[in-house]
Amino acid sequence: MLFNSLTFLVFFAVLLLCYGVLRSWRMQKSLLLVASYIFYAAWNPPFVVLLWISTSVDWFAAKRMHIEERNGRRIALLCVSLVANLGLLAFFKYGGFALENFQNVVGFYGMHFEAAAPDIILPVGISFYTFQTLSYTLDVYLRRSTPSKSLLDFALYVTFFPQLVAGPIVRATHFLPQCLAPRRATRQMLSWGLFLMTLGLFQKVVLADTMLAPSAETVFGWDRGPLAMLDAWAGVLAFSGQIFFDFAGYSTCAIGAALCFGFSLPDNFKSPYAAIGFSDFWKRWHISLSSWLRDYLYIPLGGNRKGRVRTDINLMVTMLLGGMWHGASWTFVAWGGLHGIYLAVERWLRSRFAGARWVHTFVGKVLLGLLTYLLVNITWVFFRADTFTRAKLMIFSMIGVIGDGAQVLATRQLLTVAVVIGVLVIMQWVHRSISIEAAAERLPNWAHGLVWGVMLVFLVLAQGSDNAFIYFQF
Amino acid sequence: MRSSTSSSNAEGFVRAVPRGNWPVSCVIAIVFVLLVTAVWELRVRGMGYRPSVNETSDLWARERSRLDRPGIDMVIIGSSRAQFDFDLKTFADYFSIEPPVQLAMPGTNPMQLLESVAAAEKFSGTVVLGVTPALWFVPEGMPVEQARQAVGRYENWSPSQRAGLALSIPLQRLFAYQNQEDLKLGELLARIPIKNRPAAEANQPPLLPPYFTGIDGRRQARMWEQCDFGSPLALEIQRRWLGLFKPPPPPPGVTPEELQQMFGAFIEANLERLRVAVETLRSRGSRVVFVRLPSTGTLREIELGMAPREAFYERMLAVTGAPGVHFQDYPELSDFDCPEWSHLTASDAVLFTQRLMPILENALVNPAPVHRPRPADPALSPDSAPDRGNDTVD
């Protein structure tokens, strides 16, 4: 069920009403659990079984792991969890990709192997809930936390509908304690939660889908040769805004929806396009994934504790796998690889120019921030292009090495991209260190109500948009 | 914008809610949006818009899913002319059946729609194929993509999307501003007149006609009366057809000869797909009949140039062995005029369908040979159909 659908609106209103009527905390949690299964089944009912497999395997594995003292047994239990979760992910997400690459490799050596094309439908959000449940088992294995005492609580943690299909990837240590005592949203929380949902939908439906997606689709869908430099850049900038508003919009909706039931979810974005450098960027973009990769991959690999070369290798491995997490395509791996290179180069530059004063001036920060944003846009080309050929053509068009590129965007689209992206970057710099809550507190009620109302009016005007969120496919 | 004022404690992660009277803000927002929406609704009604069901992939998918149950007698496939010019109630009354399932789709190459119907194993009724030759043989682009989207939506139609359609139709029947064709934010923005760069102008997609029809829940289209003969709306739509009904530029590096060869190969492949689909339907006991619907004016001349009758319509009949009814072959069908050159008015659609019924029945009962144009036929003389150009080709 999409947040930006009428079905969800009715589902959410009915659920909120029923949740408010029930008095027993256990009943309320059960209601949320059933509703979450319905939410997921609304896409493809059989895939609910995957949630049950993930939930039951990790529940029993973690429980046994906690009481088991023998290390070998504990490792075996961890392997059961890893194989079950990553196995499902590998089958559904990477099966076709692996087969295609196998065929290419044997073909390279002159052999012919052609298997029937697998007709596998990717279950929505499988990468998100797989990583979420894995963090639980890994935390129990690493003795960072104890297993949940309640299967109901744990099932709700895995399935809680606001974050189920596109995050934030919530840690058990954040969520499970919230299940211990009854949670009821105050009128303040409910109103603020509804505001966040409106803001998230505005970002997704109005800014991403209506304002920016058409330009990005026109440019990346152009298959009749090179593009004019201006159009290529406008398309990439449009995509940078589209993917931010799409994904951040989902996260904001999820946070708002959870708040309406009294639950708190962590932030997933903190003004990423105002980042100064790439280590800063990854503290601001898809925070729940980057912190997951840091805690369960980068640090276990040795992090930065084993020398410069090893640190760079660890960074690269982490980012390549992070790229692969996004999709079964080498273009995503290239996207992750570019970020890995950026991070490694940044580490070197930081050590080389540690004493440079200009870096800490306002102008220096702004210049470095804009450079970061520029380089991030280069990576988006590989993220969005479906082939390396198209990515290469885009890059060449952007740096202007191919003359006579096609002008494909209407002036209206160029202006829209310029205004929306300009305002986005400026707003992110203004709010670089100010939370939305702090900004909201500065507004009088009437102004806040008006801003809210204007966003709702735009949503009413943009009616009928039921485009899926980009990150659902991951 | 950051959105974090939070802390972690024994109760887990806790988000802070900003201070302020948020319930009051909520009330202000609701009052504001209701007021603006009401004003907007009045404004668009003043502009002549009326509530209508939106033509979407979901609506097509719902109609297509009716074929998954046995008992459907008749299906209509084609593009917009088959949606406008056939009156479903007249079909139902004449043949004493339930109204046909309307699966024609505006602006599409209907081949994929036909293949989807051919794949409906529980369906063995009659298929009426509306023919707009120029669209049946479009190899790519929006006409193919739209059909692909509709069939894809049917094949992967989720419970959530089904529910969404059921919930949205009552709203669409209530509010005129829900018109997605013209009044969606994206469409409103696209209408802001800003001059394009000269080189960019050639790469802009042709403008689609503005809203000039209403449809009901069974996808019966009726032309809006504001699109009457000689009206500014009709003239505007005529202008837009000129942009739409023209061959696309050849891909870079392809010579006109190569393009001609590619298109020829596509036509043959398309005819083969058509033959297979019709054969599949017939093997289940279905009857198939083609109907060439009227067009007039300059658009008709363009169609004659793009898709000559012998090379397209006649070949469709020959390849499939199915009967066909060409409006030009029957005096009672050939004296209709289209306000915007392509579709009949609501009242003409009823009359046209009434006149068509006995001809269609005859074609179905006696599938071959069907009526063919004869040069000596007085009904086909230029005098009897002055708007329709060369009557021996289409």
Residues of B in contact with A41 (CB under 8 A): 159
Helix or strand or coil: residue A403?
coil
- What are residue A321's phi and psi, to 5 degrees? -70, -35
- What CA–CA distances, in Å, run from A443 to A199, A327, A450, A458? 16, 41, 10, 21
Chain segment A300-356, per-residue pLDDT in tens: 999 888 888 899 999 999 999 999 988 888 999 999 999 999 999 999 998 888 788
- What CA–CA distances, in Å, run from A23 to A29, A184, A384, B325? 11, 10, 48, 68
Q: For strands B101-102 and B221-223, give the pairing.
A: unpaired
| B20–A440 C-beta distance less than 8 A | yes
Residues of B in contact with A393 (CB under 8 A): none
Q: In this model, does residue A86 exceed pLDDT 80?
A: yes
Residues of B in contact with A225 (CB under 8 A): 252
d(CA A253, CA A129): 17
For residues B85 and B353, the answer to whether their CB atoms sit within 8 Å is yes
Nearest-CB residue to B25 (from A415, A449, A457):
A449
Residues of A in contact with B52 (CB under 8 A): none
- What CA–CA distances, in Å, run from B43 to A161, A206, B177, B232, B329? 39, 22, 9, 20, 46
Predicted confidence band of residue A244 (pLDDT cuts 50, 70, 90): very high
Q: In chain A, what percentage of residues exceed pLDDT 90? A: 72
**Element (H or E) spanning B14, and its range?**
strand B12-15
Q: What is the average per-residue pLDDT within A356-372? A: 91
Helix or strand or coil: residue A49?
helix
Q: What's the pLDDT score for residue B258?
A: 83
Task: List Cβ neighbours of A305 (8 Å cut-off, separation of 6 or more).
Answer: none
Q: What is the average per-residue pLDDT within B32-61? A: 94
Q: In chain A, what percentage of residues exceed pLDDT 70? A: 96
Nearest to A346 by CA among A276, A270, A286, A273: A276
Q: What's the pLDDT score for residue B226?
A: 83
- Is the model's pTM score more than 0.90? no
Q: In this model, does residue A427 exceed pLDDT 90?
A: yes
d(CA A356, CA A445): 45
Q: What's the pLDDT score for residue A119?
A: 66
Q: In this model, does residue B368 exceed pLDDT 90?
A: no
Strand partners, B76: B102, B128
Q: In this model, does residue B77 exceed pLDDT 90?
A: yes
Q: What's the pLDDT score for residue B376?
A: 37
| B17–A407 C-beta distance less than 8 A | no
Mean pLDDT of chain A: 91
Nearest to A335 by CA among A288, A299, A286: A286
Chain segment B98-145, per-residue pLDDT in tens: 999 999 999 899 999 999 999 999 999 999 999 988 888 888 888 899
Nearest-CB residue to A192 (from B11, B18, B180):
B18
For residues A28 and B186, the answer to whether their CB atoms sit within 8 Å is no
Task: List Cβ neighbours of B309 (8 Å cut-off, separation of 6 or more).
Answer: B133, B326, B392, B393, B394
Q: What's the pLDDT score for residue A78?
A: 94
Predicted confidence band of residue A245 (pLDDT cuts 50, 70, 90): very high
Predicted confidence band of residue A2 (pLDDT cuts 50, 70, 90): confident
Q: For strands B221-223 and B213-215, give the pairing.
A: antiparallel
Q: What is the average per-residue pLDDT within A381-387? A: 94
Chain segment A435-462, per-residue pLDDT in tens: 888 888 888 989 999 999 999 999 999 9
Which amino acid, A214?
P
Surface of B (13-32) touching A: CB under 8 A? 13-32
| B5–A438 C-beta distance less than 8 A | yes
Q: What's the pLDDT score for residue B259?
A: 82
B381 touches chain A (CB under 8 A): no
Residue of chain B whose Cα is closest to the Cα of A227: B200
Place of tokens 């010579």: B255
Chain segment A39-85, per-residue pLDDT in tens: 999 988 889 999 999 999 999 999 999 998 899 999 999 999 999 99
Chain segment B178-224, per-residue pLDDT in tens: 988 889 999 899 888 899 999 898 888 877 787 788 899 999 999 98
Nearest-CB residue to B185 (from A1, A43, A210):
A210
Predicted confidence band of residue A402 (pLDDT cuts 50, 70, 90): confident
d(CA A325, CA A90): 10
Predicted confidence band of residue B347 (pLDDT cuts 50, 70, 90): very high
For residues B179 and A461, the answer to whether their CB atoms sit within 8 Å is no
Which amino acid, B305?
G
Place of tokens 């006149």: B355
Q: In this model, does residue B375 exceed pLDDT 50?
A: no
**ipTM for this model:** 0.83
d(CA B53, CA B219): 8
Q: In this model, does residue B367 exceed pLDDT 90?
A: no
For residues B267 and B98, the answer to whether their CB atoms sit within 8 Å is no
Q: In this model, does residue B383 exceed pLDDT 80?
A: no
Residues of A in contact with B177 (CB under 8 A): 460, 463
Q: What is the largest CA-CA distance in chain A?
A: 72
Nearest to A84 by CA among A32, A148, A158, A149: A158
d(CA A171, CA A288): 9
Q: In sequence order, what E strands does B24-122 have?
A: 74-77, 101-102
Q: In sequence order, what E strands does B104-210 have?
A: 126-131
Residues of A in contact with B55 (CB under 8 A): none
Task: List Cβ neighbours of A324 (8 Å cut-off, separation of 6 or more).
Answer: A332, A333, A336
For residues A399 and A232, the answer to whether their CB atoms sit within 8 Å is no
Q: What's the pLDDT score for residue A288?
A: 94
d(CA A136, CA B348): 68
Which amino acid, B84?
F
Place of tokens 């369906």: B123
Q: What is the average per-residue pLDDT within B58-84? A: 94
Q: In this model, does residue A220 exceed pLDDT 90?
A: yes
Catalytic-residue membership of A360: no
Distance from CA of B203 to the nearest CA of A (A): 5
Sheet of B74-77: strands edge to edge?
Answer: B101-102, B74-77, B126-131, B287-292, B324-326
d(CA B111, CA B137): 9
d(CA B342, CA B237): 9
The alpha-carbon radius of gyration of chain B (Å, integer) is 24
| A431–B14 C-beta distance less than 8 A | no
d(CA A30, CA A26): 6
Nearest-CB residue to A10 (from B14, B167, B177):
B167
Chain segment A88-108, per-residue pLDDT in tens: 888 888 877 878 777 888 887
Q: What's the pLDDT score for residue A117?
A: 63
Task: List Cβ neighbours of A217 (8 Å cut-off, separation of 6 or more).
Answer: none
Nearest to A4 by CA among A473, A470, A459, A399: A459
Nearest-CB residue to B186 (from A6, A210, A449):
A210
Nearest to A208 by CA among A421, A355, A370, A47: A421
| B184–A259 C-beta distance less than 8 A | no
| A445–B17 C-beta distance less than 8 A | no
Helix or strand or coil: residue B245?
coil
Chain segment A141-164, per-residue pLDDT in tens: 999 999 999 999 999 999 999 999
Chain segment A16-34, per-residue pLDDT in tens: 999 999 989 999 999 999 9
Distance from CA of B114 to the nearest CA of A (A): 23
Q: What's the pLDDT score for residue B9?
A: 53
